Amino acid sequence: MSVYTFRKASQEATAIAEFFSLHGLPTDSVDALADVSRLRRRERNRPLTLGLSRAAYFLIDGRVSELVQHGKTRLWREVMLFEAVSNTVFFPGTYSERAQPSYMGFTTGMCLSRCTFVEVPNTKLASLAMNDPAIALMLARMATKRHNLTEQLYTASRATPVARVAAILNYLAETTRRNAIKPGPNGTMVMTRIEELVATGPSQADIADALCLGRATVEKAISELRQVKALKAFRPGERANRCYPIEDQHRLRQISMGA
């Protein structure tokens, strides 16, 4: 094994271990999962086809649009993406949406940004879950999280379109860092690094499809969120496509709850 290959493998193992450690697993459980896992990456705008009949997939970075039924999509960030596992004998009684019949055995959709997945062979994950209660509990919690997000974001609701759009943008948002030029002392301009809370990935059409709303309705809702200062308005020359900088997250959450 070359030095480069060894370093790459070591970096991937570290990333996988860090992901599972975030879910409260003991060291032995993390090591057992890391030994049988590997990283998979997909570039933005690549079709998403994951073979669930042979492996389980965890989205650890990025944004995806997942097809769950004919004409229905779900937008996800950092979530468990395997419905096949939730229907197996070692992981019973969990929530699962009905899969698209023509794609049984696969998760399909689109990568809305550069995505990183952890891939674990189903047979090995099943064996680990049956023999390690901590791993089985982690999977159950992930399935519950998916169920709760589906209920909160995508099921039929009496909430207004503005509230529903606010909820999905709040869910997709994360802190990003970028360089910006700002006025400095004595009238000079200086380069500084700033942090922003930004929802990125889906287009307005993607949001409309996920929420079963018209595209004009979503466009109007986003405009209203900018008017009330929940979202930032773009200045000339700033990126506007698939990018929704958040100005006031507290206000955005209030609107998502119907305030």
pTM over 0.85: no
Closest CA relative to residue 169, chosen from 126, 221, 93:
221
For the residues 109-130, what does the mean pLDDT come to? Answer: 89
Q: Over 50: is that where the pLDDT of 3 sits? A: no
C-alpha of 151 from chain center: 16
Integer angstrom CA distances of residue 30 from 13, 91, 138, 143, 166: 10, 19, 11, 19, 35
Record the tokens describing residue 176, joined without a space: 């990003």
Residue 195 and residue 132 in one domain: no
pLDDT score, position 244: 92
Q: Over 90: is that where the pLDDT of 86 sits? A: no
Cβ atoms of residues 91 and 141 within 8 Å: no
Residue 122 and residue 219 in one domain: no
pLDDT score, position 4: 41
Residue 44 and residue 130 in one domain: yes
DSSP states along 39-76: EEEE-TT-EEEEETTTEEEEEEESEEEEEEETTEEEEE
pLDDT score, position 146: 84
Task: Name beta bridge partners: 107.
Answer: 50
Residue 28 and residue 103 in one domain: yes
223 or 188, greater pLDDT: 223
Cβ atoms of residues 61 and 174 within 8 Å: no
Residue 134 and residue 173 in one domain: no
For 187, the domain range is 161-256
For the residues 82-110, what does the mean pLDDT come to? Answer: 50
C-alpha of 96 from chain center: 17
Residue 149 and residue 174 in one domain: no
